[in-house]
Amino acid sequence: MSRESLDARGLLCPLPVIRTQNAVKDLAPGTVIEVLCTDPGALLDIPAWCRVHGHRVLETNRGETHISIVVEVGAQ
């Protein structure tokens, strides 16, 4: 299984979701992508986007300096 990373730190809503969407469209189903961001709204926005588009959130972590959201790409 492939693992990718997307750095969306410093971007405000809706940019973390848009950048995630743009990155995911080029990835094969089953690929795992870790999105790093600083906008706390992404903790709601990215999982909601995943539900609508058939992707799965594997993990969310809120650290001192950033948020990490790990997504498994679904069939597109």
Which one of the listed residues 13, 32, 43, 70 is annotated catalytic?
13
Instruction: Give the pLDDT of residue 71.
Output: 98
Cα–Cα dist 12/31, whole Å: 25
Tell me the mean pLDDT in the region 13-41. Answer: 97
Cα end-to-end distance, the chain, whole Å:
17
Is the per-residue pLDDT at 76 higher than 90?
A: no
Give the model's confidence band at 4: pLDDT under 50 very low, under 70 low, under 90 confident, else very high: very high
Instruction: Give the pLDDT of residue 55.
Output: 98
- Taking 3-state DSSP, the helix, strand and coil percentages for the chain, each rounded to the nearest 5, stand at 30, 35, 40
> Has 37 been annotated as catalytic?
no
Angle between helices 42-53 and 15-24 (to 10 degrees): 40
